[in-house]
């Protein structure tokens, strides 16, 4: 059967819990606790006093609100204006962000073009060096041509003919 021990997992009623907290708060005041213990505290009178104080505080809050209603309204208008300015700034910043993204793309394109031009320049220089070396090995200088065509047949003549043969072989050799 049903024991009287109670279920420790039972759900506590929120009203009971709130009442317990309020009672603990009430009893935490030493003056109230002493008056309650001595029997000099009239709860009906105390309740009326508390209700009266709460009503007064409520009126003061309403009066304070009414006194500041204009300022609150002005504050609301200022907040709306600030929101509009912030929205405008956000829109402007998004535009800047889009512009920066476009510029970033342009910068990347320029960097790619710069790299391409750098590679082309190196290739041209390398080709120029190779062509210069080839030309130096195949071109017949005027002094060599003059020595072979009009010079005396001697040892210098033979050296010039050998040099001309080397140039010819180099020019006709495969790549």
- For 16-62, the pLDDT digits (tens) are 888 888 788 878 888 878 887 888 878 788 888 889 999 999 999 99
Instruction: Note whether residue 77 is domain-resident.
Output: yes
Total domains present in the chain: 2
What digits encode the pLDDT tens for the residues 166-175? 989 988 886 6
- CB 150, CB 174: distance < 8 Å: no
Say which residue, 36 or 80, is predicted with more confidence: 80
Predicted model pTM: 0.41
Q: What is the DSSP string of 144-172?
A: HHHHHHHS-SSHHHHHHHHHHHHHHHHHH
Enclosing domain of residue 42: 15-138
Q: How far is CA 84 from the centre of its chain?
A: 24
Same domain as 97, residue 51? yes
Instruction: Note whether residue 6 is domain-resident.
Output: no
Q: What is the mean pLDDT of the chain?
A: 87
- CB 151, CB 160: distance < 8 Å: yes
Same domain as 85, residue 46? yes
Same domain as 78, residue 23? yes
Q: Give 160: exposed, middle or buried? Use CB within 10 Å, 0-12, 13-18, 19+.
A: buried
Same domain as 53, residue 30? yes
Q: Is the pLDDT of residue 137 over 90?
A: no
Mean pLDDT computed over 132-159 = 91
Same domain as 148, residue 92? no
């Amino acid at each position: 059967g049903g024991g009287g021990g109670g279920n420790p997992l039972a759900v506590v009623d929120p009203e009971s819990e709130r009442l317990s907290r309020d009672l603990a708060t009430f009893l935490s005041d030493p003056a109230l606790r002493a008056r309650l213990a001595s029997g000099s505290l009239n709860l009906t009178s105390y309740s009326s006093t508390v209700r009266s104080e709460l009503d007064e505080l409520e009126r003061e809050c309403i009066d304070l609100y009414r006194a500041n209603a204009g300022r609150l309204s002005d504050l609301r208008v200022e907040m709306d204006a600030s929101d509009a300015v912030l929205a405008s700034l956000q829109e402007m910043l998004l535009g800047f962000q889009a512009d920066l993204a476009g510029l970033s793309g342009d910068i990347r394109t320029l960097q790619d073009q710069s790299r391409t031009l750098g590679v082309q320049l190196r290739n041209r220089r390398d080709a120029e060096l190779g062509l210069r070396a080839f030309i130096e090995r195949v071109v017949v200088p005027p002094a060599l041509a003059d020595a072979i065509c009009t010079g005396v047949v001697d040892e210098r003549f033979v050296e010039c003919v050998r040099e001309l043969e080397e140039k010819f072989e180099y020019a006709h050799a495969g790549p």
